[in-house]
């Protein structure tokens, strides 16, 4: 090749590389590249915005680092992790029943294991419970949890401390665990340990809902107003907007297994919000996942404590251990 031709080849390569770099730069900053119309868009190294078409939500990571540094910096470390919990015979799809619990709530867990939170097959699904916990300051509770784990093999515990705001760490770390250790789950139900779950109605709901694997299911809160006082208060310096994105109430909801990878990927990019159900709402928005609302997810209890109401519900929140067992036996 002549010298003049070599120069043109080199120049041509430089031009192509320059065009490719320019195009890549534009694509990574255009809305919609990561999650279609939900989109997470970086404004600078600390600020991320999300939009749902009605509101635009601005998340400043530096504010979260200042107000809740432990939520942002914690690396998920499991103290107790069941082996092979999601393994099982081929056939019926796995519905994982994940229950948020506190080490001190051994009585509640015992009541759930006697009722709806035990391994079985029902409604065409293979059901498997797992209790999600953080560490206890009381050594007696820690010993009890270890005994439960040895006996039932259904405890998943991380080494952060149980607290209200740390529930968001349970959300983040559970997504990581699901992504790494339970990819075979068809659906994941998640709720509190004072929740009654009508498993028959729940499995029928999943079987009969069109395209059920495309949605996050639950009692969906639409653009809830941000509280500035009380247990669920969020300071304006952390979150200046007046509304939250839509989210499934944390009392009880379902996410399809197919959504876990996108939710986990979002958790690696977004700051950890100090309210766990709102945090999942941000992850859901970033992942571009739609919601499916059903009022039978009774996250605030029921108007009348009658058997027919439980029969017609998917979940009922705030049920005592004694009533849990009465209703289960009656149904």
How confident is residue 275, by pLDDT bands cut at 50, 70 and 90?
very high
Q: Any idea what the Cα angle at residue 42 is, between residues 272 and 35, rounded to 5°?
A: 80
Per residue in 295-329, pLDDT (tens digit) is 999 999 998 999 999 999 999 999 999 999 999 99
pLDDT of residue 251: 87
Please give the Cα distance from 313 to 199 (Å, whole number): 10
Distance CA 264, CA 179 (A): 7
Q: Is residue 40 very low, low, confident or very high in pLDDT (cuts 50, 70, 90)?
A: low
The bridge status of strand 297-298 relative to strand 315-317 is parallel
- On the 0-12 / 13-18 / 19+ scale of CB atoms within 10 A, 156 is buried
Q: Calculate helix-pair angle for 106-114, 139-152, nearest 10 degrees.
A: 20
Cα–Cα distance between 271 and 60 in angstroms, integer?
A: 8
User: What's the pTM?
Assistant: 0.87
What average pLDDT does range 279-305 have in this prediction?
A: 96
Q: Name the band, by pLDDT with cuts 50, 70 and 90, for residue 6.
A: very low
The dihedrals phi and psi of 305, each to the nearest 5 degrees, come to -85, 70
Domains, in order of start, for the chain: 77-330 (3.90.550)
What pLDDT sits at residue 14? 39
Mean pLDDT taken over the chain? 88
Mean pLDDT within 83-87 = 93
């Amino acid at each position: 090749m002549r010298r003049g031709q070599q120069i043109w080849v080199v120049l041509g390569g430089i031009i192509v590389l320059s065009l490719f770099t320019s195009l890549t730069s534009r694509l990574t900053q255009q809305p919609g590249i990561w999650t279609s119309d939900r989109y997470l868009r970086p404004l600078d190294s600390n600020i991320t915005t999300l939009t749902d078409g009605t509101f635009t939500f601005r998340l400043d990571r530096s504010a979260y680092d200042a107000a809740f540094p432990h939520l942002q910096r914690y690396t998920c470390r499991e103290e107790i992790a069941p082996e092979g919990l999601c393994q099982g015979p081929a056939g019926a799809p796995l519905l994982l029943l994940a229950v948020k619990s506190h080490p001190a709530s051994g009585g509640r867990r015992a009541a759930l294991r006697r009722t709806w939170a035990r391994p079985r097959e029902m409604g065409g699904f293979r059901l498997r419970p797992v209790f999600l916990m953080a560490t206890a300051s009381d050594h007696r509770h820690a010993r009890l949890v270890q005994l439960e784990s040895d006996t039932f093999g259904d405890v998943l515990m991380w080494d952060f401390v149980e607290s209200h705001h740390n529930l968001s760490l349970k959300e983040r770390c559970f997504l990581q665990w699901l992504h790494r250790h339970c990819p075979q789950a068809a659906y994941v139900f998640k709720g509190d340990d004072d929740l009654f779950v009508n498993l028959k109605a729940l499995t029928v709901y999943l079987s009969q809902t069109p395209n059920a694997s495309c949605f996050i299911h639950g009692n969906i809160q639409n653009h809830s107003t941000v509280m500035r006082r009380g247990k669920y208060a969020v300071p304006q310096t952390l979150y200046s907007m007046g509304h939250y994105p839509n989210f499934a109430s944390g009392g009880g909801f379902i996410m399809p297994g197919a959504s876990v990878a996108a939710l986990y990927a979002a958790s690696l990019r977004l700051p950890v919000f100090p309210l766990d159900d709102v945090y999942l709402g941000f992850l859901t928005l970033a992942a571009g996942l739609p919601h499916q609302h059903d009022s039978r997810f009774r996250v605030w209890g029921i108007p009348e404590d009658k058997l027919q109401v439980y029969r017609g519900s998917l979940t009922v929140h705030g049920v005592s251990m004694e009533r849990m067992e009465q209703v289960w036996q009656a149904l």
